[in-house]
Structure 1
Amino acid sequence: MGVMKINPFYFVVQISFDVISSFIIFFLLSSVSPSYGYDPLDPHGNITIKWDLLQSNPGSNDVKVSILNFQLYRHIEQPGWKMGWDWTGDEVIWAMQGAEATEQGNCSRFKGGQLPHCCEKSPFIVDLLPGAPYNMQTTNCCKGGILSSMIQDPSKFGAVFQMSTSAATNESGFHMPENFTIGVPGYTCAKPVQVAPSKYSSDGGRRWTQALGTWNVTCMYSQFLASTSPKCCVSLSAFYNSTIVPCPKCSCSCQGLPGAKCVKFGETPSLLRQIKDLNRESPSFVRCSQHMCPIRVHWHVKQSYTHYWRVKITVNNLNILKNYSQWNLVALHPNLKSLIQVFSFNYEPLNQYGQINDTGMFWGIEYYNDMLLQEGESGNVQTEMLLLKDPDMFTFREGWGFPRRILFNGDECVMPPPDQYPRLPNTAQLGAQLSFSTILFLLWLLILCAE
């Protein structure tokens, strides 16, 4: 047998190629910021901070700041937004309307007269509460930092405040701040970008004035930055199967892990541990369960009619200390395009891709069930919906009747594995036995008739 000659150049090239490929893959992965959040169900969703310079005098600048929530279903709930930035110079805030700084800071360099509203190098601004004095209000302010999503309430998706600023020294001119934040977990803000100046009309459009300069700051949401673990899970059941598929074990946490706090049934958390600070989110105390999620969504295929089928959705709040106001639920299912009626919930399709209408948003009816109360007998909301059977796709086989994705308040819920979905009863063997019995019966009848 001949000896195969090995070309050492081949191995050098191959190793070099592998090293270069690995380097390219590593570079691409490392170049993707982990804070970037792109949502295919809401591809254009973001929170925009608009900074309008209205007047610029030698000793002061008048600024109007708007916070606009352009997200379809994500909203800002209590304790609300808390905007922050870093001044690039020695600026201070002399007066504010529609909001206030959380700290005045050290204003000792100002001697005599009225002190500035805030002297912090990195101020934090919060919205005024409802019912604030009229001389402190601005248009579209004073909602306690709560911003509705675009679909739920378009009239409450924005907040506005104004302020008068100046440099503490003799420095003149205007300098745009940097390093913006909105104080809500999961959001990361980009650098300010100057855009076309905003225009304003005070007489119905006959005369327009415009800002001296306008900057936009775009803030994106990432669920991975908001929480290291999921916040909700999904359980499934159907009328044709007695099995109830629970939320996957340890969906949100596991009992016994560090930081995994839960309360057993029949117990209540100590009053000393209940934090009632309006500027802080309530601590997460959930009922002990195998999934340890504060929110459980149950999807039940309830009934099948000749031309329709019915689904029941139940949302359970297992959080001991928290109510969810203005909650919403997003579901992805191919038959939502044939939705006929929804009972006791509001509904709006999310057809962001033209004819692909397989995603919809559910939320509560105002003053009826728009508040999901904390864990207890009233800690749930539920609805039923009626869907038309599409003959081109409808089937109960292979778990088709269950959703592909569920999101609660914009966060992805943990779904059970597909191989555990409730299945149709296996009637193949029964059908074969029935067919064989029928054949024997027909043969017996033929024999009787022949006699």
Structure 2
Amino acid sequence: MRAKKLMGWQALFIVVLVSVTYHFTLTEGQDYDFDGDKKKAAAPPPEENNCNGIFLSYVFISREKEFPHLKNATAQAWAFKSVATILNAGEKDLKAWKMYIGFQHKEILVSAGGAVIMDGDDLPAFVGNGTYLSGYPQADLKTAIETAGDLTQIQAEIQLEGTQFGLKPPAVPMPKTIRLVNDGFKCPAATRKGSSVFVCCVTDPKFKANITKTKYMPRQNGDLTIVYDVLQAFEGNYLAQVTMDNNHPLGRLDHWNLTWEWMNGEFIYSMRGAYTHKRDYSECIYGPAGKYYKDTDFTPVMNCEKKPVIADLPPERKDDEKVGKLPYCCKNGTLVPTTMDPSKARAIFQLQVFKTPPNMNRTAFFPPQKWKINGVLNPDYKCAPPIRVMPTEFPDTTGLDAYSTAVASWQVVCNITRPKEKASRCCVSFSAFYNDSVIPCNTCACGCKDTDTCNQNASPLLLPPEALLVPFINREEKAKAWAKMKHRTLPKVLPCGDNCGVSMNWHINSDYRKGWTARVTLFNWEDINFEDWFAAIEMKVAYPGYENIYSFNATKLPQVKNTIFFQGLEGLAYLMGEVNGTNPQTDPRVPGKQQSVISFRKKHTPGINIVKGDGFPSKVYFNGEECSLPKVFPTGAAHKSHTNLLPVIFLTIITFVLMTDHLS
């Protein structure tokens, strides 16, 4: 009986224990659910609360060692995560925000959620020298005043992931600085605290902004401006027009190719005034478009690529009823400066864009991002992200004093970038009448392949003048013979060629008391012809003395300092391509060539010294591309000795006369 009673108490004890444990567990679970599974956000720095402007911050979150694991700490790769934040803590809206992050540890950016790289580079991108980011899709930041402090409208967060090298733990890989790069703001030096860096940028009272009464950004200036206009809007699709204007006096594009990236599943149904290089609709059938447009025949579709490559139509399609009949279209991809021909400085094409869910509303527009444009032997352009601008106005086509406006407009600004060393597309050689050797184009002036066995860092070998007329592969024997004749030592591994498609020889032809002349020769080593070519030279010292150029049309450019612009005469505007020699089996190929003499007066340039380099251009452009220049000038020992011999002879005669008088 007692045993049963004891067992009863034991059972009761177990029940109570289970009940208490269950209650405790339930209480813990309820607390956990109430708090949420997210870690509480760190309190913002007090500087944020005191900022009356734009507050930017960068917070390093974590990193993890990547393969391969190396003993060399500086070569070790680390995967990192960080967050950049931009907060509008001011009293005015911030339009099209732009932020600079000064990365400094050979970073490679793999993803940037909430932003795009401003120069249009694709990810992954090397950003070890710093990078500029702009907001997408949230490009504008409103104020707390007009949004009741809604962080989703006044703040943008950029989730950054990438790879950095070196700087092993416990050191923290932080950027040098961060700053806002919008006009009208000034930023002090950024402050670093532990694994975060921040700065408060305020409006610059000295900045004079153009006063606009619209909610859109004012249109910007640039070397090449592109406007993306929505002309007609429908449920699920819209008609857009792209207008490109060449604004640079030396900018140019030949056979341009334009590309961008659709961000929301759009595709091009049809085009007028241009076409895409690829007409493959498989990406529509197997992508989001195919799921929505189930009963649509995609065979007439122009292009379904996320990154279409668009080109201009040839002139013979200009009056085509289906794809032509647009002003400024169909010039075979040629955009020249207004100084040459204003009618060829603009290009226009239209496209019918189909959208995919959830952006089917007729007022939902998302312009493509990551714009890029290039041409054949033309300058490199870097394009900023599109910014929303005031809708474009179009004059009435019937001649009435009226205008219509686009539904919506965005502007893309592209600027010419100076070519890096060994990355040009044209080059220059120097020669002079007072030196029998030619200084050729720089080694690898237009790049070299990693597999080349020649010396990519050696100085080019001096050449006899006739060697300029043959391709580089046929110059080696001439260069060796010339070096032997001049008693010059040859390197064990000969230097590589220039690998340029176009070259110019600048030859000092004469130098006399009242003036001097130079001979300009253009060589085309490509297979293609250059129609309506142009070139330009910057003459820092000799510019005021320019007199004439005899076989080209030339003019001084007031917009570009000390620059003379020239092009072929009417009927001679073709720079022909390279062709076979008389006997292709034995003779080298022959480049296309054009030549002229240019003359200068010394009256307006007193003290000019031709031999020391004043007679050579400091910059040369061909079709807008800045060419690589030699690093030295032809020496003028013979020329100088001829000049300095006169006072020596005069002094000798005077001495002889005086001695004769003394002896007599």
- Of 591, 601, 610 in structure 2, the residue corresponding to residue 388 of structure 1 is 601
Q: What SS does the aligned partner of 2:129 have?
A: helix
- Of 296, 307, 312 in structure 1, the residue corresponding to residue 503 of structure 2 is 296
Structure 2 residue aligned with 1:5: none
Q: Hey, what's the Cα distance between the residues in 2 that align with 1:426 and 1:46?
A: 47
- Of 593, 618, 637 in structure 2, the residue corresponding to residue 404 of structure 1 is 618
Q: What is the Cα deviation at residue 397 of structure 1? A: 4.2
Q: What is the Cα deviation at residue 258 of structure 1? A: 2.9
Structure 1 residue aligned with 2:473: 264
Letter of the 1:63 counterpart: A
Alignment deviations for residues 283-310 of structure 1 (CA, whole Å, 9 cap, x no partner): xxxxx97544333311122124553322
Structure 1 residue aligned with 2:148: none
Q: What is the Cα deviation at residue 313 of structure 1? A: 0.6
Structure 2 residue aligned with 1:56: 233
Structure 1 residue aligned with 2:262: 87
Structure 2 residue aligned with 1:440: 655
Alignment deviations for residues 299-334 of structure 1 (CA, whole Å, 9 cap, x no partner): 122124553322211112234x34333332221112
Contact 1:103-1:124 at 8 Å conserved across structures: no
Letter of the 1:162 counterpart: Q
Alignment deviations for residues 194-222 of structure 1 (CA, whole Å, 9 cap, x no partner): 11221111244611111122110122333
Is residue 255 of structure 2 the alignment partner of residue 67 of structure 1?
no
- Of 531, 537, 544 in structure 2, the residue corresponding to residue 331 of structure 1 is 537
Letter of the 1:396 counterpart: I
Which ranges of structure 1 fall in alignment gaps of 5 or more residues? 1-22, 35-43, 267-287
Contact 2:274-2:313 at 8 Å conserved across structures: yes
Is residue 554 of structure 2 the alignment partner of residue 347 of structure 1?
yes
The aligned runs of 1:185-204 (5 Å cut-off) are 186-201=380-395, 202-204=397-399
Contact 2:547-2:599 at 8 Å conserved across structures: yes
Letter of the 1:65 counterpart: V
Q: More displaced, 325-334 or 182-191?
A: 182-191
Letter of the 2:389 counterpart: V
Structure 1 residue aligned with 2:130: 31
Is residue 353 of structure 2 the alignment partner of residue 165 of structure 1?
yes
Alignment deviations for residues 117-155 of structure 1 (CA, whole Å, 9 cap, x no partner): 434344333222222223321222122222223322221
Give the number of the structure with larger relative contact order, counting CA–CA contacts within 8 Å between residues 6 or more apart.
Answer: 1
Q: What is the Cα deviation at residue 377 of structure 1? A: 4.3
Q: What is the Cα deviation at residue 179 of structure 1? A: 2.2
Q: What SS does the aligned partner of 1:303 have?
A: strand
Q: Hey, what's the Cα distance between the residues in 2 that align with 1:196 and 1:26?
A: 38
Q: What is the Cα deviation at residue 230 of structure 1? A: 3.0
Q: What SS does the aligned partner of 2:616 have?
A: coil
Structure 2 residue aligned with 1:40: none
Q: Aligned in 2, Cα 1:259/1:337: closer, same or farther, shift over 3 Å? A: farther
Letter of the 2:629 counterpart: M
Contact 2:435-2:634 at 8 Å conserved across structures: no
Is residue 350 of structure 2 the alignment partner of residue 142 of structure 1?
no
Q: Hey, what's the Cα distance between the residues in 1 that align with 2:353 and 2:444?
A: 51
Q: What is the Cα deviation at residue 384 of structure 1? A: 1.1
Letter of the 1:313 counterpart: V
Contact 1:237-1:300 at 8 Å conserved across structures: yes
Contact 1:86-1:177 at 8 Å conserved across structures: no
Contact 1:248-1:415 at 8 Å conserved across structures: yes
Alignment deviations for residues 387-430 of structure 1 (CA, whole Å, 9 cap, x no partner): 22125343334222122222333333333333644453225874
Q: Hey, what's the Cα distance between the residues in 2 that align with 1:440 and 1:307?
A: 31
Is residue 563 of structure 2 the alignment partner of residue 359 of structure 1?
yes
Structure 2 residue aligned with 1:179: 369
Is residue 631 of structure 2 the alignment partner of residue 417 of structure 1?
yes
Is residue 458 of structure 2 the alignment partner of residue 245 of structure 1?
no
Contact 2:419-2:626 at 8 Å conserved across structures: no
Letter of the 1:446 counterpart: D
- Of 398, 402, 426 in structure 2, the residue corresponding to residue 232 of structure 1 is 426
Q: Hey, what's the Cα distance between the residues in 2 that align with 1:438 and 1:234?
A: 45
Q: What SS does the aligned partner of 1:61 have?
A: strand
Q: Aligned in 2, Cα 1:162/1:240: closer, same or farther, shift over 3 Å? A: same
Letter of the 1:218 counterpart: V
Is residue 310 of structure 2 the alignment partner of residue 103 of structure 1?
no
Q: What SS does the aligned partner of 1:176 have?
A: coil
Structure 1 residue aligned with 2:44: none
Q: What is the Cα deviation at residue 351 of structure 1? A: 2.9
Is residue 309 of structure 2 the alignment partner of residue 124 of structure 1?
yes
Letter of the 1:406 counterpart: V
Aligned length: 390
Structure 1 residue aligned with 2:411: 216
Contact 1:395-1:401 at 8 Å conserved across structures: yes
Q: Aligned in 2, Cα 1:436/1:164: closer, same or farther, shift over 3 Å? A: closer
Letter of the 1:188 counterpart: K
Q: Aligned in 2, Cα 1:232/1:123: closer, same or farther, shift over 3 Å? A: closer
Q: Hey, what's the Cα distance between the residues in 1 that align with 2:596 and 2:233?
A: 54
Q: What SS does the aligned partner of 1:346 have?
A: strand
Contact 1:230-1:412 at 8 Å conserved across structures: yes
Contact 1:85-1:177 at 8 Å conserved across structures: no
Q: What SS does the aligned partner of 1:386 have?
A: strand
Q: Give me the identity figure in percent.
A: 26
Q: Aligned in 2, Cα 1:191/1:371: closer, same or farther, shift over 3 Å? A: same
Q: What SS does the aligned partner of 2:542 have?
A: helix
Q: Hey, what's the Cα distance between the residues in 2 that align with 1:53 and 1:429?
A: 71
Q: Hey, what's the Cα distance between the residues in 1 that align with 2:262 and 2:128?
A: 33
Q: Hey, what's the Cα distance between the residues in 2 that align with 1:436 and 1:421?
A: 26
Letter of the 1:361 counterpart: F
Structure 2 residue aligned with 1:8: none
Q: What do you get for the CA RMSD once the two structures are aligned? A: 3.6
Structure 2 residue aligned with 1:307: 514
Contact 1:342-1:383 at 8 Å conserved across structures: yes
Contact 1:369-1:381 at 8 Å conserved across structures: no
Contact 2:275-2:310 at 8 Å conserved across structures: yes
Alignment deviations for residues 164-215 of structure 1 (CA, whole Å, 9 cap, x no partner): 2332447213322232334427333211111122111124461111112211
Contact 1:399-1:422 at 8 Å conserved across structures: no
Instruction: State TM-score, norm by structure 1.
Output: 0.74
